[in-house]
A and B are shown apart, each in its own frame.
Chain A
Amino acid sequence: MTLPMPVELCVNGERVSAAIEPRTHLADFLREHLNLTGTNLGCEQGVCGACTLQVDGVPTRSCTVLAVSCTGAEVRTIEDFDADPVMAQLREAFSAEHALQCGYCTPGMLATARDIVLRLPDADDARVRHELAGNLCRCTGYVGLVRAIRSVLDARKTAGAVNRT
C-alpha cells in the first residue's frame, strides 16, 4: 500500500478534503468515502457508462479517473441534480417513455442524456442513438431511451420557439 495523498475538490457544491490512496478512482471515492452511492459501477474499464457523472461541467467516466487527479475540480453526481430543470424534464420523460427498468444504468444514462440535450439541441434520433452507444442498458432496448430524449429535445425546441416570439 502506498501512502495516502491529500485531495481537495468540490463535490455537489461542497468543498471536500480527504487523504486517500492514489489508486482510488473517483467513483470509489464518492461511494466509499462520501457515501454518495447514486453513482453506480459496472465494468470499471470505461465501457459500460454506468459511472458517468459530471466533472467540470462535462460528462466523465468516474471509474477511469483517479480521485487524486481531481484536485480543484467541480464534481456533480446524480444526487446534485434534484433542482436542475433539464434533469427534471428528463426524469419525467424517462418515466413516461419507459426509459428504465432495473435502474442500474440510469444515473449514468441521465448524465449522458443531459449532455445530449444541452450540447446537441438539433440531434435527430440516429444521432441520439449514436451518442448513447457509450451507455449500456440491457433492459429497455434503447427505444424508450431515444423516445424520452427525443421528447425533451422537442419540448425544449418548442419552448425556445415560444420564447423567441
Chain B
Amino acid sequence: MKPAPFDYRRPDTVEAALAALAGSNGVAKAVAGGQSLGPMLNLRLAQPAELIDLGGIAALRECLDAGTSVQLGAGITHAQIEDGRIPDPSRGLMSFVARGIAYRAVRNRGTLGGSLAHADPAADWINVMALLDATCIVMGPRGQREIAQRDWMVGAFTTALADDEVLLGVRIARLSPGARWSYYKVNRKPGEFAEAICAFVDDGAQGRRRAVIGAIDGAPFVIADAGALIERWDEALAHRHLCEAGLEPGTLEYQLHAVALRRAAAALAVFTGEGA
C-alpha cells in the first residue's frame, strides 16, 4: 500500500524543528530514520497530516565523551553503533545489540532516538537504555529537560516526550573496566521483532547490578538490584520477578521470558565480551 497524503518539512536545526512542531497544532509527527514509521505510513496505520523530518539536523548526530559518561545524539544510526564508529560507554553491549536489530539496510537509516521515541516494547534500545539507566535529554519550547529512563516509557508506543518536544540524545554512564553484561533475545528469525528480551549488567565497582525483562506489554521491567540472581540462579526468585513483570505462569509469553532470563543469566556467568 501507499501512504495517505501528508505535508513534509525537513528543518536543518533543532530550533526550526521545534518551531515547525509548535506551528502544527499537534497534527505533525516527527520522523528520524523512518524505519518504523515508514512501514506504518505505507500500511496506513499512521496517517499524520504533516511529517517533520529530523534527518537533516546535523546537531542530532553529535556525540560527547565526558569520560564517566557518554552522550549519544538521537540521530546516531544503529549501523554506526554496530560498527563502533561512536564512543561506547557499554563495553561492547550496544554494538552487540545493534548487530541484531532488523537488517543492515534498516540499521543504515534507523536511529537510536527514533527507536526510543517510538517506544515499541519489543525493540532493543528501549530495553538497553532501561538496563543502563540512561537519561533522555529533550528540548522543547520551555527549554531543555532531562528524563530518567524509569519515567521515559509510559506504556507501549507512549513516552514522556511531549508533542512539541524533540529528543536530543541520551546520556549513559560508562561501565567500569571489569563490568560484565549479557543480552538474550528470542525471535523467530534474525531481525524479526523480539518475543522476549532479557539482559543483565553486573558492574560491581559502581554497585550497578541490574536486569531487565523486556518485550512485554508495556515498559521494560527493571530489576534494580539483581545481585541475588547474578550470584546464583534461583528458579523461585526468577519466577517472582517474571510475575512482577506481569507475565502469567502457564502462558507461552511467560515461558519465552523465563527461558530468556535463564539464558541471559547463564551468558553473564561466562561473559567474554564477545556477546551473549
Chain A complexes with chain B: yes
Q: Are A45 and B39 in contact (CB under 8 A)?
A: yes
Assess whether B246 is interfacial by the CB under 8 Å rule.
Answer: no
Assess whether B204 is interfacial by the CB under 8 Å rule.
Answer: no
Q: Interface majority SS on B: helix, strand, loop or mixed?
A: loop
Assess whether B249 is interfacial by the CB under 8 Å rule.
Answer: no
Q: Are B2 and A60 in contact (CB under 8 A)?
A: no
Assess whether B157 is interfacial by the CB under 8 Å rule.
Answer: no
Indicate which residue in B8, B39, B79 contacts A64 across the interface (CB closer than 8 Å): B39
Q: A66 CA to B103 CA in the complex, in Å?
A: 19
Q: A68 CA to B34 CA in the complex, in Å?
A: 13
Indicate which residue in B38, B103, B109, B189 contacts A25 across the interface (CB closer than 8 Å): B38
Which one, A76-84, A94-102, A128-136, A156-164, is touching chain B?
Answer: A128-136
Q: A23 CA to B53 CA in the complex, in Å?
A: 12
Q: Are B34 and A66 in contact (CB under 8 A)?
A: yes
- In the complex, which residues 37-95 of chain B have their Cβ closer than 8 Å to any Cβ of chain A? 38-39, 41-43, 51, 53, 55, 79
Chain B residues positioned under 8 Å from A22 (CB to CB): 5-8, 51
Q: A61 CA to B104 CA in the complex, in Å?
A: 10
Q: A111 CA to B105 CA in the complex, in Å?
A: 10
Q: Are A61 and B105 in contact (CB under 8 A)?
A: yes
Q: Are A59 and B6 in contact (CB under 8 A)?
A: no
Q: Are B35 and A46 in contact (CB under 8 A)?
A: yes
Chain A residues positioned under 8 Å from B53 (CB to CB): 66, 69
CB distance from B233 to the nearest CB of A (A): 28
CB distance from B172 to the nearest CB of A (A): 25
Q: A1 CA to B5 CA in the complex, in Å?
A: 6
Considering only CB atoms, which chain B residue lies closest to A68 in the complex? B8
Tally inter-chain residue pairs, CB-CB below 8 A.
97
Q: Are A23 and B6 in contact (CB under 8 A)?
A: yes
Q: Mark A115-150, 1 if CB is under 8 A from B, else 0.
A: 100000000000000110111000000000000000
Considering only CB atoms, which chain B residue lies closest to A63 in the complex? B42
Q: Are B191 and A23 in contact (CB under 8 A)?
A: no
Assess whether A52 is interfacial by the CB under 8 Å rule.
Answer: yes
Assess whether A18 is interfacial by the CB under 8 Å rule.
Answer: no
Q: Are B109 and A23 in contact (CB under 8 A)?
A: no
Considering only CB atoms, which chain B residue lies closest to A135 in the complex? B103
- In the complex, which residues 1-52 of chain B have their Cβ closer than 8 Å to any Cβ of chain A? 1-8, 10, 34-35, 38-39, 41-43, 51
Q: Mark B189-222, 1 if CB is under 8 A from A, else 0.
A: 1110000000000000000000000000000000
Assess whether B265 is interfacial by the CB under 8 Å rule.
Answer: no
Q: Are A66 and B79 in contact (CB under 8 A)?
A: no
Q: Are B34 and A59 in contact (CB under 8 A)?
A: no
Given A23-B41, A49-B103, A69-B10, also A60-B34 (CB < 8 A): no
Q: Are A134 and B38 in contact (CB under 8 A)?
A: no
Assess whether A2 is interfacial by the CB under 8 Å rule.
Answer: yes
Assess whether A74 is interfacial by the CB under 8 Å rule.
Answer: no
Q: A57 CA to B35 CA in the complex, in Å?
A: 18
Q: Mark B99-129, 1 if CB is under 8 A from A, else 0.
A: 0001111101100000000000000000000
Assess whether A58 is interfacial by the CB under 8 Å rule.
Answer: yes
A interface residues, Cβ below 8 angstroms from B? 1-2, 5, 21-23, 25, 28, 44-47, 49, 52, 55, 58-61, 63-66, 68-69, 71, 111-112, 115, 130-131, 133-135
B interface residues, Cβ below 8 angstroms from A? 1-8, 10, 34-35, 38-39, 41-43, 51, 53, 55, 79, 102-106, 108-109, 189-191
25 A–B contacts, CB within 8 A, in A order:
A2-B5, A21-B5, A22-B5, A22-B6, A22-B7, A22-B51, A23-B3, A44-B42, A45-B39, A45-B42, A46-B39, A47-B39, A49-B105, A58-B105, A61-B38, A61-B106, A64-B106, A66-B34, A68-B8, A68-B10, A69-B34, A69-B53, A111-B105, A133-B191, A135-B103
Ranked nearest first, the 7 interchain pairs of A and B with the lowest CB-CB distance are A134-B103, A64-B38, A22-B8, A45-B39, A133-B190, A23-B3, A59-B105
Given contacts A25-B2, A55-B108, 9 further A-B contacts (CB under 8 A): A2-B5, A22-B7, A23-B5, A44-B39, A46-B38, A71-B10, A133-B191, A134-B103, A134-B191
